[in-house]
Amino acid sequence: MSETTLHVRTLQDQPGALYIEFDNPPMNQFTTELWSSLAAALRKARTDDSVRVVILTGAGERAFSAGLSMDMLDELKSDEDSALIYSLGFEIREAIYALGKPIIAAVKGNCVGGGFEIALCCDLIYASEDAKFMLPEMNIGLVPGCGGAIHLAQKIPFNRAFEMILFGDRLTAEEALRLGLINKVFKKDEFDASLRSVVDKILSKPPVAVRALKELMAHTVVSVNEAAALQIERRLAVDLMKTQDFKEAVSAFREKRKPRFIGK
């Protein structure tokens, strides 16, 4: 098995459920290869009539995903590199929207950056009691570039979303639950069994009606300004990766020192 892997599996005693697991120790950070594999797996699930619900998880107990690999960000050399990162994130987001079946983010541990942004695209989020949620992009001179700012402000009060992104606030599972950001919090030692119970409930519903609900609800969450917001997001996400402040932030992170921002 390669170091970075996407596990796609079904369980014999739970037909209809497709589990997709990010596996990139220690924090399941995303790489371009993992993102491409995820988009392909979601597209395949869309056309597979035997799949009725998809569950995204992270391997181990430490993280759902800590977002983009800092090594990958450090290797950005051109506008094309930055645009590729954004396009892969957008491709995953679109694949989730087009899935036509319920998709669950099953969160243990840290759900950070791009990991949190992907969770925000899902229909349901269930978290372990030790889960933490954070969008830290501002700390390295970026804005969330996978829909995070747009979706967060749709799910919780605008001023709270703005504050959370501006200061890089880390929410506990209970705080996220109180804000209505996630559906339920499960005890750590009961998480897997509780999640299976939720999946079983979904599988017990009429498949045609579930697909119809997914289509209907997809229309209710799209703002009339969504297209304009996405255009702004792409411009900012790509342009900010070219700034000196971003490069300084990445270097400072790797060198374990405080960054020196110059506003350029």
Q: Please, which pLDDT band fits residue 173 given cuts at 50, 70 and 90?
A: very high
- Note whether 145 and 137 are within 8 A (CB): yes
Q: Is 94 a catalytic residue?
A: no
Q: What percent of the chain is predicted at pLDDT more than 70?
A: 91
> How many CA atoms are closer than 13 Å to the CA of 147, on its beta-carbon side?
26
Listed residue (223, 117, 130, 228) closest to 173, CA to CA: 130
Does 3.40.50.720 match the CATH number of domain 5-189? no
Start-to-end CA span in the chain (Å): 42
Is the pLDDT score of 2 beyond 50? no
- Predicted model pTM: 0.84
Residue 212 above 90 pLDDT?
no
Q: In degrees to the nearest 10, what's the CA dihedral of 67, 179, 60, 136?
A: 20
**What b/e string do you get for 69-99 counting C-beta neighbours within 10 Å, with b at 16 or more?**
beebbeebeeeebbeebbebbbbbbebbbeb
Is the per-residue pLDDT at 184 higher than 50?
yes
Measured CA to CA, the distance from residue 15 to residue 19 in angstroms comes to 11
Task: Give the CA angle between residues 255, 107, 184 to the nearest 5°.
Answer: 135
- Taking only the tens place, the pLDDT of each residue in 70-96 is 777 777 777 777 778 778 888 998 899
Which one from 21, 137, 190, 255 is the annotated catalytic residue?
Answer: 137
Least confident span in 83-97, 105-119, 171-185: 83-97
Residue 143 has pLDDT above 70, yes or no: yes
Q: Annotated catalytic residue: which of 61, 80, 117, 163?
A: 117
**The pLDDT value given to residue 140:** 85
Q: How far apart are CA 212 and CA 222, in angstroms?
A: 16
